[in-house]
Structure 1
Amino acid sequence: MSAILDLQIATEQADIPSEQDFSLWLEHVFAALSISDKEITIRIVDDAESQQLNYQYRSKNSPTNVLSFPFEMPDFMGMDDEENAEHDDNHVASLAEAEFNLLGDLVICAPVVTREATEQNKTLKHHWAHMVVHGTLHLLGYDHINDDEAEDMEALERQILQQLAIDDPYQNH
């Protein structure tokens, strides 16, 4: 399984995990779900950028630990139906069948992760791992809106984190 990581550090915070850590955590998610060769961007930000994005995309005016932005394939690369009709049929078919390996983007707020780890008595690196696993599962379509979905997603998170020797993130600390 191969995760292609684009790591962007947009914070001055010093206790950020290494690129190798992020890659290891992604590899465990991909291995658990038999996924390979997907590209993911992880952007590490401060409170201000997280708050702005959380407000813009979720109408919540506060920073949050992780935001997930799944890649959405544009309709034939931005062409409307009339433009598509004017293009060579083979060209349009090849665009439709093109395999895009972009999974999406995670935006993780370093100060929030640090605060949560302290408040929840968790090892900081373990909490970072959980945020990467949790966010990546969101990119893959997992959610926790209803109880059944939450149970499935949390069980998968526990399984992946256990393979990394990380305690259940949902237990009381």
Structure 2
Amino acid sequence: MLDVELDIGLEWSDSGFGQLEVEKAVDAAMRVADVPGLKDYPAPVEVSIKLTDDAEVHALNREWRDKDKPTNVLSFPMLDEDELESFRHPELVSGSYSSSGAEKIGTLSQVQGDGNEMELLLGDIVLAHGVCTAEAEQKNIPVAHHATHLVIHGMLHLLGHDHIDEDEAELMEALEVKALASMGLHNPYDV
């Protein structure tokens, strides 16, 4: 099960982008990301998304990325590369789920072994309203469509994708386009 915790700032109230749209974007990203082990995880999997203003994103970007400006989306993954690889290839992980269904013996040990479920937090995604709105206006698309793309982009980061080198960027863009197409939205890279 995937839980989406959403915190929406007032500046987003007229954007047409809320809980339902965020959940659809997260679901679309999960479907294209090829992380089968997350579907079988014995406790809830959670992502936290905050729709806020440029000032907050600017402060976060300065603190965590040493970039003194706002940006459209920030992602803060909680799983490291080895954990993500375990979820991508669960058949290769040694061990199995315990009889209580709450503990994976091996490298997947995010759940408590005493039977008490503990959510697996994929990470946090933060969108800046002003930047997102300006970019949507430049692209001549609804803010909700651009925000959908940014949530998908952020989710792919949480799931281990990046765009640092050209091959990674091409793969990530292809996944974004596929996720957006599954929602009936256009290719944002088609100029």
On whether the aligned pair clears a TM of 0.5, the verdict is yes
Query: Given the alignment, which residue of 123, 128, 133 partners 1:104?
Result: 123
Match of 1:61 in 2: 68
Cα distance change of structure 1 residues 15 and 97 upon mapping to structure 2, 3 Å threshold: same
> Who wins on radius of gyration, i.e. which is larger?
1
State the alpha-carbon separation in 1 of the partners of residues 27 and 110 from structure 2: 24
> For the Cα contact (< 8 Å) 1:3–1:30, is it kept in 2?
no
Q: TM-score, normalised by structure 2?
A: 0.73
State the alpha-carbon separation in 1 of the partners of residues 110 and 78 from structure 2: 14
| Offset of residue 72 of structure 1 | 4.7
Match of 2:181 in 1: 162
Which runs of 5 or more structure 2 residues have no equivalent in the other structure? Answer: 81-104, 112-118
| Offset of residue 3 of structure 1 | 2.3
Q: CA RMSD in A?
A: 2.2
> For the Cα contact (< 8 Å) 2:8–2:18, is it kept in 1?
no
Q: What amino acid sits opposite 1:162 in the alignment?
A: A
SS across alignment from 2:57: helix
Pairing 1:22-171 to 2, within 5 Å after superposition? 22-32=22-32, 33=34, 34=36, 35-36=38-39, 37-72=44-79, 97-99=109-111, 101-171=120-190
Match of 2:92 in 1: none
SS across alignment from 2:8: strand
State the alpha-carbon separation in 1 of the partners of residues 18 and 8 from structure 2: 11
Match of 1:19 in 2: 19
SS across alignment from 1:103: strand
State the alpha-carbon separation in 1 of the partners of residues 173 and 26 from structure 2: 16
Higher helix share: 1
State the alpha-carbon separation in 1 of the partners of residues 141 and 11 from structure 2: 22
Aligned residues: 152
Cα distance change of structure 1 residues 12 and 126 upon mapping to structure 2, 3 Å threshold: closer
| Offset of residue 24 of structure 1 | 1.1
Q: TM-score, normalised by structure 1?
A: 0.80
Percentage identity across paired residues of the two chains: 38
Q: What amino acid sits opposite 2:131 in the alignment?
A: V
